[in-house]
Amino acid sequence: MNKLKKTVVICCIIMNCFSMSACFSYKDINKVMFITAFIVDVDNSGNPILYAEAFKGVRTSATAGQDERVLFKATGKTLFEAVRNMNATSSYKLNYTQNKAIIFTQKAAEFGLDNFIDFLDRDQELLIRPYIAIYQGDPEKLMKLNILQEKYIGTFLVQLVENIGASSRAVKLSLNEFYNQRGTGDRTNVVTIIDITKDDLEPKLQVNGGAVITNDKMVSVLSKNEGQGFNFLMNTILGGTLEITNPCDINKFITLEIIKSKTKTEISYNNNNNIIELKKKIKVKVDVGEAQKSIVLTKENIRKIEKKSEENIVKACNNVFAKYKDMGIDIFDITEQFYAKYPKIKIENIIDKTELKVEAEVEIMNTGDVENFQ
Amino acid sequence: MEKINIEYIKEKLKNSYDVKYREIESALGIILGVFIDDLCDSKFISEYIFNPLMQAKIETVDLEYIKKEVLPANSIGDINNNDEVISHVLSGDLVLIFSFASKAIYCEAKGYVRRSVGIPVTENVIKGPREGFVEAFVDNVSLIRRKIKNSDLKFETVVLGNKSNTVTVICYLEGVAPKKLVDYIRTKINNINLEFILESNYIEEELKNKNTVFDTIGTTEKVDVAASKILEGRVAIIVDGTPFVITAPYFFVDNFQTPDDYYSNKYFGNLSRGIRVFSFFLASLLSGLYVAITTFHFSLIPTVFAVKLAISRAGVPLPTVIELLLMTFFFQLLREAGIRLPQPIGQAMSIVGALILGDAAVGAGLASQSTVVVVALSSISSFLVSKLYGALSTWNIIIILFSSVLGLPGFYISFFIFISHMAGLESCGYPYLFPLGTLETFKFKDVLYRKDLSKISNSVFDKDDYNE
């Protein structure tokens, strides 16, 4: 290649580089305000009200400097208009790349998430990483909540959800999973519900069950107690506890710590009687965490504990399934599983024709020894 | 044959206080000794040349008799013309001109001040030989000879520089160094047409790639390094007047190899080499990546770090890219000042510099702590591969500029250009990235991982190369 050709090629590459500018551009990190969480509410006319918290670096006399939490509120006919209106009250451009949580109020969720979701999905700055949650209460109270454990609600919510393994009753869902669920099967989601504790020593944010969203509208609440059965059925148990009566004293309890849980799903369709059989095989490995009063861990007692906890699991699963079967809402993704196996069979309202069979197998791995004594 | 013309020689060497003429009477006529006082050993001349000449009764015009019977000096030869006389005198020989003979005789009587063999300051080692080359080429030749006692070790001399007449020695191991390589270097050196040569870089520039900041020709001050390169089949070029010996070809992977890799524990040596490779990427890419991520792609920064960065940069009036370039410039200022200043002042400089870079710039709001950390890390890393310092400093700035315009796509484009540029370089006809990217002759033995010495102690070239 001669020199002229080389120069032309290099010039073309450089010019091409400059024409490659997309919807991002140079912006210094101290010239933006990062939103860490925002709450979407609606007024009585159905217009979105947007609340947001952001952080901003501030230079102080101390070398280290510090960050400040800044709160915003804006309204508009659409969510995007509300976002732009919010920018009008901010000294720097609001940036959503560090957003950790998208919270909808119960009112907004009942009004319909489809009024807001498109903006969240379409805008490139809004990532699919944040967690989605429904808040049952006054959004202003939530924004002004002073959480000592963490300055920012968004970051705290992430920590809270990441720590969900400690409870087998909580539900977690990221925006990405939410998008997937609302577009497949019977378009039903179970979204984390958060609220502020009332009877705690100081007000805190807590995960409190799940909101059932069908066709982008909140239709029901999955209570904390139902959460465990739901999680067992959905194979989303990461940890938590099982409480059963003490075989040595029926008035006392034993707490089993879930170490590992695995749920296998088998789905089959009986053409003759038009029934879908849903079989869930749940294998749970537990440790004995606590025994009230005392327990003698004989083989017989261990078997009793295992049997009792198996019964509890089956009962919890059947209860939650029965409730939603009655309501005709498929929160268990049966529709997706059915069509994955039988893509050519078309059945209306699948959960109505589904019969659940739960087989639970609990195995106590470790009974633990009391070692600390003097 | 023309007769040696004393008047011509005196005319050529006039106005030089150190050129001495010593006449000795003999039965047949005058014998004139010409030499340069500063370059010759006066005691040797008096004792072994002039004294025997005065004692001897010279009654024959046959100079062979004088060479064989009279002069005990060890290196003697004939001179047939005036220019040769001048050349020998300027090289530190004594020339004897006979009024009764047409030829002259030179006797080697060099005796100038030489620096003794010392420890090279630019290539420190923890373990291994410490002797380094000196300015006198004869000493350098003897140092290599002592390392490689092999009859195939060849030293070819070429006199370069129209005005300086600098002796240059091409050194290689016959049968190991590819013939085409030796021919290439010999031709290149013979074609050099310079007025003077003061340092090996005058020759280096003729051999290496022109449009690059990468050094495609190596230099070393250490005798063992030069010897190892010669034994691998490369060519060394010794230039009179400099302790820096050229080794060619010089490959990219050579920048990561140090003598310690071969003289110390294999595993630790490999760890150190791994760190050097990592530091190369850190020095070249870190600043660009920092600019791209902190000015375009906030979503890639973990939130906790984003908070810290925002706090750190709060109140800094300059854009990140200017801040980064400014701090890099400050660092270059300090480095340049540190090198040029005498050592005692240099230490004071370092303290002031560290304060400017580390604290005062942050305190004054000129820079953020995170930028200082990035510049410091990048600069320290570049010292680990000191031979690539110039290339890293330059490409670092290019990558920063690309990243500041286009973010990560700019970073990738500049990195691609960086690698392509290296891949396009050649060192004496061999690809600079050899053996990387040359699949057919890929030898992984001593590239990133140093294997057992018994497995890597052979030529870096292919057998086919020897006789091409």
Cβ neighbours of A20 in B, within 8 Å: 406, 409
The confidence score (pLDDT) of residue B458 equals: 63
Cβ neighbours of A55 in B, within 8 Å: 307, 310
Average pLDDT (B98-127) is 86
Residues in contact with B368: Cβ distance below 8 Å, sequence separation at least 6, in sequence order: B309, B312, B313, B316, B323, B362
Average pLDDT (A301-315) is 92
Where b means 16+ CB within 10 Å and e means fewer, B150-160 reads eeebbeeeeeb
pLDDT digits (tens, 9 = 90+) for B369-405: 899 999 999 999 999 998 899 999 999 999 999 999 8
Per the model's pLDDT, the better-predicted residue between A130 and B350 turns out to be A130
Q: Is the alpha carbon torsion for B364, B367, B370, B374 positive or negative?
A: negative
CB A38 within 8 A of CB A50: yes
The confidence score (pLDDT) of residue A17 equals: 61
Token readout for B22 is 């010593």
Q: Please indicate whether, in this complex, the C-beta atoms of A17 and B365 are within 8 angstroms of each other.
A: no
Question: B134: helix, coil or strand?
Answer: coil
Which residue carries 């004792």 as its tokens?
Answer: B47
Instruction: Tell me which residue in B298, B311, B410 faces A98 most closely, judged by beta carbons.
Output: B298
- Cα–Cα distance between B298 and B108 in angstroms, integer? 74
What's the gap in Å between the CA of B314 and the closest CA on chain A?
5
Residue B364 phi, psi dihedral angles, 5° rounding: -80, -5
- Cα–Cα distance between B415 and B88 in angstroms, integer? 55
| Confidence grade of residue A314 (pLDDT, cut at 50, 70, 90) | very high
Strand runs (DSSP E) across B225-296, as ranges? Answer: 235-239, 245-248
Q: DSSP characters for A160-182?
A: HHHGGGG-SS----BHHHHHHHH
Whether the per-residue pLDDT at B347 is higher than 80: the answer is no
DSSP B15: T
- Cα–Cα distance between A156 and A37 in angstroms, integer? 10
Whether the per-residue pLDDT at A169 is higher than 70: the answer is no
Average pLDDT (A27-55) is 93
Whether the per-residue pLDDT at B443 is higher than 60: the answer is no
Q: Which segment of A257-261, B18-22, B371-375, B444-448 scores lowest on mean pLDDT?
A: B444-448
Strands A131-135 and A101-105: parallel
CB B107 within 8 A of CB B73: yes
Residues in contact with A148: Cβ distance below 8 Å, sequence separation at least 6, in sequence order: A202
**Best mutation target, B308, B359, B406, to test chain A (most A CBs within 10 A):** B406
pLDDT digits (tens, 9 = 90+) for B403-434: 998 899 999 999 999 999 999 999 998 889 88
Q: Which segment of A353-362, B1-10, B189-198, B257-266 scores lowest on mean pLDDT?
A: B1-10
> CA-CA-CA-CA torsion for A317, A320, A322, A323, nearest 10 degrees?
180
Which residue carries 């090279």 as its tokens?
Answer: B120
Instruction: Tell me which residue in A21, A58, A100 faces B314 most closely, judged by beta carbons.
Output: A58
Q: Note the pTM of the prediction, 2 decimals.
A: 0.82
Query: Among B263, B260, B369, which Cα is nearest to B314's?
Result: B369
What's the gap in Å between the CA of B291 and the closest CA on chain A?
9
Residues in contact with B185: Cβ distance below 8 Å, sequence separation at least 6, in sequence order: B170, B207, B235, B237, B248, B428
Average pLDDT (A322-343) is 91
Residue B39 phi, psi dihedral angles, 5° rounding: -95, -15
Residues in chain B: 468
Which residue carries 């001669």 as its tokens?
Answer: A2
Q: Please indicate whether, in this complex, the C-beta atoms of A155 and B306 are within 8 angstroms of each other.
A: no
Token readout for B41 is 């050993």
Average pLDDT (B194-202) is 91
Query: Among B29, B34, B33, which Cα is nearest to B14's?
Result: B34
CB B38 within 8 A of CB B131: no
Strand runs (DSSP E) across B215-366, as ranges? Answer: 218-220, 235-239, 245-248
What's the gap in Å between the CA of B361 and the closest CA on chain A?
12
pLDDT > 70: what percent of chain B?
Answer: 95
The confidence score (pLDDT) of residue A49 equals: 95
Whether the per-residue pLDDT at B241 is higher than 80: the answer is yes
The confidence score (pLDDT) of residue A273 equals: 83
| Confidence grade of residue A312 (pLDDT, cut at 50, 70, 90) | very high
Cβ neighbours of B303 in A, within 8 Å: 34, 36, 98, 100, 155
> CA-CA-CA-CA torsion for B11, B16, B19, B23, nearest 10 degrees?
50
| Confidence grade of residue B447 (pLDDT, cut at 50, 70, 90) | confident
CB B270 within 8 A of CB B449: yes
> CA-CA-CA-CA torsion for A13, A18, A22, A27, nearest 10 degrees?
130
Say what angle helices B343-355 and B320-340 make with each other, to 10 degrees: 160
Secondary structure of A314-331 in the HEC alphabet? HHHHHHHHHHHHHHCCCC
What's the gap in Å between the CA of A66 and the closest CA on chain B?
6
| Confidence grade of residue B214 (pLDDT, cut at 50, 70, 90) | very high
The confidence score (pLDDT) of residue B156 equals: 93
The confidence score (pLDDT) of residue B291 equals: 95
Question: B235: helix, coil or strand?
Answer: strand
The confidence score (pLDDT) of residue B59 equals: 80
How many A-B residue pairs are in contact by the CB < 8 A criterion?
Answer: 88
Q: Please indicate whether, in this complex, the C-beta atoms of B298 and A95 are within 8 angstroms of each other.
A: yes
- Cα–Cα distance between A257 and A254 in angstroms, integer? 10
pLDDT > 70: what percent of chain A?
Answer: 93
Cβ neighbours of B315 in A, within 8 Å: 30, 59, 65
What's the gap in Å between the CA of A56 and the closest CA on chain B?
7
pLDDT digits (tens, 9 = 90+) for B57-80: 888 888 888 888 888 888 888 998
Residue A335 phi, psi dihedral angles, 5° rounding: -60, -45
Cβ neighbours of B296 in A, within 8 Å: 24-27
Whether the per-residue pLDDT at A172 is higher than 80: the answer is no
Strands A354-366 and A275-291: parallel
Q: Please indicate whether, in this complex, the C-beta atoms of A28 and B313 are within 8 angstroms of each other.
A: yes
Query: Among B283, B219, B276, which Cα is nearest to B418's?
Result: B283
Q: Please indicate whether, in this complex, the C-beta atoms of B314 and A55 are within 8 angstroms of each other.
A: no
* CA-to-CA dists, residue B204 to B139, B155, B212, B436, angstroms: 21, 18, 13, 23
**Best mutation target, B307, B312, B370, B416, to test chain A (most A CBs within 10 A):** B307
Query: Among B238, B232, B223, which Cα is nearest to B177's?
Result: B232
In chain B, the residue whose alpha carbon lies closest to the alpha carbon of A95 is B298
The confidence score (pLDDT) of residue B83 equals: 87
What's the gap in Å between the CA of A155 and the closest CA on chain B?
8
Per the model's pLDDT, the better-predicted residue between A181 and B400 turns out to be B400
| Confidence grade of residue A374 (pLDDT, cut at 50, 70, 90) | low
CB B337 within 8 A of CB B285: no
Q: Please indicate whether, in this complex, the C-beta atoms of B298 and A64 are within 8 angstroms of each other.
A: no
Per the model's pLDDT, the better-predicted residue between B67 and B344 turns out to be B67
Question: Across all residues in chain B, what is the average pLDDT?
Answer: 87
Q: Please indicate whether, in this complex, the C-beta atoms of B409 and A98 are within 8 angstroms of each other.
A: no
Cα-to-chain-centroid distance, residue B444: 27
Strand runs (DSSP E) across B147-196, as ranges? Answer: 153-160, 166-173
| Confidence grade of residue B464 (pLDDT, cut at 50, 70, 90) | low
Whether the per-residue pLDDT at A19 is higher than 70: the answer is no
Q: Is A18 on the interface with B (CB under 8 A)?
A: yes
CB A39 within 8 A of CB A104: yes
Instruction: Tell me which residue in B313, B405, B409 faces A57 most closely, judged by beta carbons.
Output: B313
| Confidence grade of residue A62 (pLDDT, cut at 50, 70, 90) | low
Whether the per-residue pLDDT at A283 is higher than 70: the answer is yes
- Cα–Cα distance between A87 and A74 in angstroms, integer? 9
- Cα–Cα distance between A92 and B141 in angstroms, integer? 69
Q: Is A223 on the interface with B (CB under 8 A)?
A: no
| Confidence grade of residue B4 (pLDDT, cut at 50, 70, 90) | confident
Residues in contact with A185: Cβ distance below 8 Å, sequence separation at least 6, in sequence order: A330, A333, A334, A335, A336, A339
| Confidence grade of residue A167 (pLDDT, cut at 50, 70, 90) | low
The confidence score (pLDDT) of residue B444 equals: 54
pLDDT digits (tens, 9 = 90+) for A187-236: 888 899 998 888 778 888 888 888 999 989 999 998 888 888 998 999 88
Whether the per-residue pLDDT at A24 is higher than 70: the answer is no
Question: Number of C-alpha atoms within 13 angstroms, CB side, residue A339?
Answer: 12
DSSP B299: G
The confidence score (pLDDT) of residue A166 equals: 56
Average pLDDT (B88-112) is 88
Q: Please indicate whether, in this complex, the C-beta atoms of B310 and A36 are within 8 angstroms of each other.
A: no
The confidence score (pLDDT) of residue A249 equals: 85
